[in-house]
Structure 1
Amino acid sequence: MSLTDFVGLPDVRARFKAEFSKPKLDIKQELLAAAPLGSNVRLVGTAFDYLLRFYIKYQNPHAQERGWIAEYALHHFSRRGQTHLFNQAKRVIDQAHNYYQEFLLNGQFTNELLQSALLLGRLDAVRRVGYIHETWGAINEQDIQDLRNLVQLLKPELFKCSGKIIMNPSWGEAALLVRGADGDLIVDDLLVDFKTVKELKLERSNFDQLMGYYTLSVIEQKLEEDAIELKCLGIYFSRFGVLYQINVEDVVNFETFPKFLEWFIARAREYSGCTLI
């Protein structure tokens, strides 16, 4: 369970819809990287998240990193005594770290790096569903080509920043309210979610996810002195090469938000059983 599960609850969806009006996405851009026939689009999306964070770290060596979600699989397999899967996953993760370090030196998206990202994406699924298919190590050439098309759309200036950059922000103790939250990126006061989807469209569920992250960030500010005050929220639409941004002040009613925040904390406590906040 996580923030995604929480904001998907029917009563929570209704409360978010009442509090936050979804803005119109008025950007016009054709699809630049359509998924090849036979590509596993969900897996490619997860793998690209890794590659994009690798790219951001290459551009911004000062960026703060957390551990990879894929590494959770090692704890999962170890607890269950699944030695064979543990050893397989350990080899994949160690190899991925090696390719990542090479990338930080040369900035080259090699086939080996792309393959590693796909395998990390498969290991990510262990955290979501609790198991992995026995053929998880197989590589689909269509997935490699899909990733190759996506990385070619990356623009050097898009995420270059001399200020604070946090990859995989988690909002500390505030996230305990919803049993965990994993964002994609914070650049200064901008939160960015990555979406590898075929339509340039702001779905209500994606908007609610952003507002959930924002709400957790406000709670974190009450708990941590150095917490970041978010002023913009964004989505990077990777198949279009577009970064869409929303000003917080355009979607948050600061008169009604305190009441919403009280409701959010109370409802999240009921959901998670967390009494620490």
Structure 2
Amino acid sequence: MSLTHIIRTDMPLRALLKQVIRKPRWTRPTIKVFPVSTRASLTGTAFDYLLRFELQRRFRGTPIEHGWWIAKMAAPQVPKKRLSKQFIKEAEQQVDFYSRGYFDTVEMAKTCTVLAKFDFVYRAGWADPQWLVTDEVVAEELLELLEVVPFEAFQPKHRLTLNPTFGEGSHWVGGADSDVMVDGLLIDLKTVTKAELSLDELRQLVGYGVLARLGGIHIVDSPASQQKVNVELESLGLYYARHGHLITFDLDDLVIEDGWELLEDYFLTHYASTGKNVSDIAAGD
């Protein structure tokens, strides 16, 4: 079970989300980075990592909250555990150097392609046969995606939270985590070719909003626990990475009046008592 699975299969919830969401008018942006690799999921997950590491580097003077990587929690589950743990240790050193400007972006991108493979083990239980081999094609694509990021839109005034989770909210749905939170703006990254602002994308985004409102913002500080971050959800955003375009929504503009309360009541009624173990907090999304 995960938030994605719940939104896809819970028909009454899908109907309720459709009822309360206000789909805004917008101008579809032009694609800037076309896909080269055929491994879309790997590219998306690897870019999640690379963008977070780049934000750490660029905004290192700002308070930054980040916990354990999903890849680190996956290390004991992949083949050849000793090699896996050694890779994660070296990757952590690389990120530390990178955040201080002492490590090459190209090499960082290559490392991210392997971290993404670890994620798949944790989230889906599938191990890439070449799980420690960098994907050069994907790495090149990550660098192109990084070039079109409007970093001024990601610059925090007070706090940057990387890979936030939602406390008990994540627990209830068997695993949910988002990508980036800039002050009170929670952002979901998309590496899709078509920026459609689809209803399903908005359902997922609003789902994150509900969990954040109910459970608060946290980071994973060990495989079995989360630490609350002193930040409140104020707005939601979708970042279309191939288009270099971030669209943001005030909470009250995205749903109808009383819409958040209706959704919160639904989650509390149907999911608050059915969550998995805390160790599964980020396994699903």
The two structures have a TM-score, normalised by structure 1, of 0.86
- Look up the SS of the partner of 1:235 in the other structure: strand
- Look up the SS of the partner of 2:68 in the other structure: coil
* Partner residue, 2:258: 255
Give matches, 1:167-186, under 5 Å.
167-186=162-181
Aligned partner letter, 1:35 = P
Q: Are 2:236 and 1:241 equivalent residues in the alignment?
A: no
Q: What's the CA shift string for 1:7-64, capped at 9, x where partnerless?
A: 222422222112223333x13432111112x442210111010011011111222210
Q: Is the 8 A contact 1:217 1:227 kept in 2?
A: no
Q: Is the 8 A contact 1:39 1:140 kept in 2?
A: no
Q: What's the CA shift string for 1:55-112, capped at 9, x where partnerless?
A: 11112222100110111212324xxxx5x2x123223212211221221121765322
Cα offset, 1:225, TM superposition? 9.7
Q: Is the 8 A contact 2:65 2:229 kept in 1?
A: no
* Partner residue, 1:59: 58
Identity %: 28
* Structure 1 pair 15–43 and aligned structure 2 pair: CA distance change class (3 A): same
Distance in 1 (CA, whole Å) between partners of 2:105 and 2:228 is 41
* Partner residue, 1:95: 90
- Look up the SS of the partner of 2:128 in the other structure: coil
- Look up the SS of the partner of 1:236 in the other structure: strand
Structure 1 ranges of 4+ moved more than 4 A: 224-227
Residues matched between the structures, number: 265
Q: Is the 8 A contact 2:185 2:237 kept in 1?
A: yes
Distance in 1 (CA, whole Å) between partners of 2:191 and 2:243 is 9
Distance in 1 (CA, whole Å) between partners of 2:151 and 2:102 is 11
Distance in 2 (CA, whole Å) between partners of 1:255 and 1:158 is 29
Aligned partner letter, 1:56 = L
- Greater shift, 122-131 or 93-102, is seen at 93-102
Distance in 1 (CA, whole Å) between partners of 2:20 and 2:98 is 43
* Partner residue, 2:27: 27
Give matches, 1:60-139, under 5 Å.
60-61=59-60, 62-77=63-78, 82=79, 84=80, 86-106=81-101, 109-139=104-134
* Partner residue, 1:150: 145
- Greater shift, 104-113 or 115-124, is seen at 104-113
Q: Is the 8 A contact 1:92 1:119 kept in 2?
A: no
Aligned partner letter, 1:48 = F
Unaligned runs of 5+ in 1: none
Unaligned runs of 5+ in 2: 217-226, 278-285
Q: Is the 8 A contact 1:171 1:216 kept in 2?
A: yes
Q: Is the 8 A contact 1:47 1:121 kept in 2?
A: yes
* Structure 1 pair 173–99 and aligned structure 2 pair: CA distance change class (3 A): same
Aligned partner letter, 1:146 = E
* Structure 1 pair 34–225 and aligned structure 2 pair: CA distance change class (3 A): closer
Distance in 1 (CA, whole Å) between partners of 2:148 and 2:113 is 18
Aligned partner letter, 2:172 = L
